[in-house]
C-alpha cells in the first residue's frame, strides 16, 4: 500500500467517525482530523503540480470530493450538535425548576408532619393522664368506702370509755367519717354527672347526624368517651384530603352540638388501610385529620379544644384481609371527652 492509498483509508475512517458520534468531544476530534487532512490535501496538490498524472495510484480529484463530503458532514453534525445542546439546556432548566418545587414541597410537608407528630404526642399524653386519673379515682372511692365501713364498725364496737376521753374520741371518729362520706358522695355525684352529660351529648350528636346512613358514620361510647366515626366514602375521595360537600355538612352539624358544650375536649384522628407505604399512610392520615379540624374551626369551634392526630393503619377496627374490612378501617374519628377539672381538684385536696 502506498502513501496515497493510506490517506484515502484514513479519510474514510474520519468520515465514518464523524457520522457515528454527536458528542462534543468526538466532534472536536473529528474537526481536528479534518484540519489535518486539509493540510495533507494541500501537500498532495504540491505533489500533483510536481508531476503526478491522472494515472497515478493517488487520485487528487477523488480526494477533493471526499474532503467536500467530509466538510458537509461536519456542517450537518455541527447543526445537530447545536440543536441537541439547546434542547438539553432547556431540559436542564425545567429539571432545575421541578427540583426546586419538589424541595420546597418536601420542606413544607416535613414541617407539617413534625407539628402534627408533636400534637399527637401531646394528645396521647393527655389521654394517658385521664385514664390514670379515672383509675386513681376508682381506687380512691373503693378505699374511702372501705375506710368508711371500718370507721362505722369501729364506732359500733368501741366499748364505753370515761366521759372526757369518750367525747374526744367520738368527735374525732365522727369528723373522720363525715369527711370520708362527703368525699365519696362528691366523687359519686361528679361521676354520675359526667355519665349523664355523656349520655346527653351522645343523644344530641345522634340527633344532629340524622339522615346519614350507618355505613357512613357511627356514634358509640367507650371508656367514658364518645366516638364519632366517619367513613372515607363520606369525607374523602381515594388518596385525597379534600372533604366533599356531604362530609362538610356532617362536620358542621356536629360543630353546632360542640359549640353548645364548651367543656368537651375534641380529638380528631385520621386512619387508613395498609395499602401503600407506611410513610404515605402516615402523611395522609395526618392531613385528613387536619382537614376536619379546619372545618370545625371555620364553624366557630374553639381551636384550643381540638387536637389533630394521624394514626396511619396501626389501629384497625376490622381485618385488612378483606375489602370490607379495609373500608371500615379507612375512617376519621372525632373523639369527645369531658374535662375532669373538678375531679382533679378533689383528688389534689
pLDDT tens per residue, range 169-188: 444 445 556 666 776 777 67
Mean pLDDT is lowest, of 45-59, 82-96, 298-312, for 45-59
Distance in angstroms (rounded) separating the CA atoms of residues 304 and 312: 24
Distance in angstroms (rounded) separating the CA atoms of residues 137 and 347: 7
Distance in angstroms (rounded) separating the CA atoms of residues 311 and 332: 10
- In this structure, the strands spanning 264-270 and 306-310 are parallel
Average pLDDT over the chain, rounded to whole?
Answer: 75
Mean pLDDT is lowest, of 32-46, 106-120, 322-336, for 32-46
pLDDT higher than threshold 90 for residue 313: yes
Range with the largest mean pLDDT of 30-34, 82-86, 226-230: 226-230
pLDDT higher than threshold 80 for residue 252: yes
More confident residue, 158 or 135: 135
What are 288-292's contacts with CB under 8 Å, separation 24+? Answer: 288/235, 288/236, 288/241, 288/332, 289/116, 289/332, 290/112, 290/116, 290/241, 291/235, 291/236, 291/241, 291/242, 291/243, 292/235, 292/243, 292/251, 292/268, 292/332, 292/334
DSSP labels, 166-229: HHHHHHHHHHHHHHHHHHHHHHHHHHHHHHHHHHHHHHHHHHHTTTS-TTTEEEEEETTEEEEE
pLDDT tens per residue, range 183-211: 677 767 767 766 777 777 777 887 777 76
Distance in angstroms (rounded) separating the CA atoms of residues 13 and 203: 92
Looking at residue 155, its pLDDT comes to 60
The SS3 call for residue 1 is: coil
CA neighbours closer than 13 Å in the CB half-sphere of residue 300: 6
Q: Which of 25, 28, 22, 18 has its CA nearest to residue 71? A: 18
Looking at residue 169, its pLDDT comes to 45
Element (H, E) at 153: helix 60-157
Domain extents in the chain: 3-98, 121-348
The residue-averaged pLDDT of 107-135 equals 73
Please list the helix, strand and coil fractions of the chain in percent, rounded to the nearest 5, in that order: 70, 10, 20
Distance in angstroms (rounded) separating the CA atoms of residues 87 and 92: 9
Looking at residue 272, its pLDDT comes to 95
Q: Name the pLDDT band for 56 (thresholds 50, 70, 90).
A: very low
Contact present, 292 and 235 (Cβ < 8 Å):
yes
- Exposed, middle or buried: residue 239 (CB in 10 Å: 0-12, 13-18, 19+)? exposed
Contact present, 272 and 329 (Cβ < 8 Å):
yes
The SS3 call for residue 310 is: strand
Looking at residue 52, its pLDDT comes to 45
Residue 123, CA distances (Å) to 135, 145, 171 in order = 19, 33, 47
Residue 18, CA distances (Å) to 4, 30, 160, 223 in order = 21, 6, 125, 81
Distance in angstroms (rounded) separating the CA atoms of residues 270 and 329: 10
CB atoms within 10 A of CB 153: 10
pLDDT higher than threshold 80 for residue 297: yes
What letter would DSSP give residue 339? -
For the chain, give the percent of residues with pLDDT over 70: 65
CATH code for the structural domain at 121-348: 3.30.1330.60
Looking at residue 85, its pLDDT comes to 74
Amino acid at each position: 500500500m502506498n502513501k496515497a492509498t493510506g490517506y484515502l483509508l484514513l479519510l474514510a475512517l474520519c468520515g465514518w467517525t464523524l457520522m457515528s458520534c454527536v458528542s462534543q468531544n468526538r466532534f472536536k476530534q473529528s474537526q481536528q482530523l479534518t484540519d489535518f487532512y486539509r493540510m495533507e490535501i494541500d501537500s498532495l496538490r504540491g505533489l500533483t503540480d510536481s508531476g503526478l498524472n491522472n494515472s497515478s495510484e493517488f487520485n487528487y480529484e477523488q480526494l477533493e470530493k471526499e474532503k467536500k463530503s467530509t466538510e458537509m458532514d461536519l456542517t450537518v453534525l455541527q447543526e445537530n450538535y447545536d440543536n441537541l445542546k439547546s434542547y438539553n439546556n432547556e431540559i436542564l432548566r425545567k429539571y432545575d425548576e421541578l427540583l426546586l418545587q419538589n424541595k420546597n414541597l418536601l420542606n413544607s410537608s416535613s414541617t407539617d408532619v413534625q407539628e402534627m407528630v408533636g400534637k399527637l404526642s401531646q394528645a396521647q399524653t393527655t389521654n394517658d393522664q385521664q385514664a390514670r386519673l379515672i383509675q386513681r379515682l376508682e381506687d380512691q372511692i373503693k378505699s374511702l368506702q372501705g375506710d368508711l365501713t371500718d370507721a362505722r364498725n369501729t364506732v359500733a364496737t368501741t366499748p364505753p370509755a370515761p366521759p372526757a376521753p369518750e367525747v374526744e374520741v367520738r368527735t374525732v371518729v365522727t369528723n373522720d367519717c363525715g369527711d370520708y362520706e362527703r368525699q365519696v358522695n362528691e366523687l359519686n355525684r361528679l361521676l354520675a354527672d359526667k355519665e349523664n352529660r355523656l349520655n346527653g351529648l351522645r343523644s344530641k350528636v345522634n340527633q344532629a347526624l340524622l339522615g346519614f346512613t350507618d355505613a357512613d358514620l357511627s356514634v358509640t361510647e367507650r371508656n367514658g368517651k364518645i366516638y364519632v366515626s366517619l367513613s372515607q366514602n363520606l369525607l374523602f375521595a381515594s388518596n385525597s384530603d379534600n372533604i366533599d360537600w356531604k362530609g362538610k355538612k356532617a362536620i358542621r352539624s356536629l360543630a353546632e352540638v360542640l359549640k353548645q358544650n364548651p367543656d368537651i375536649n375534641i380529638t380528631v384522628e385520621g386512619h387508613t388501610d395498609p395499602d401503600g407505604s407506611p410513610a404515605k399512610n402516615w402523611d395522609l392520615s395526618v392531613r385528613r385529620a387536619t382537614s376536619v379540624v379546619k372545618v370545625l374551626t371555620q364553624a366557630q369551634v374553639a381551636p384550643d379544644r381540638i387536637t389533630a392526630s394521624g394514626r396511619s393503619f396501626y389501629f384497625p377496627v376490622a381485618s385488612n384481609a378483606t375489602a370490607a374490612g379495609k373500608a371500615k378501617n379507612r375512617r376519621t374519628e372525632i373523639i369527645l371527652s369531658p374535662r375532669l377539672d373538678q375531679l382533679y381538684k378533689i383528688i389534689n385536696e
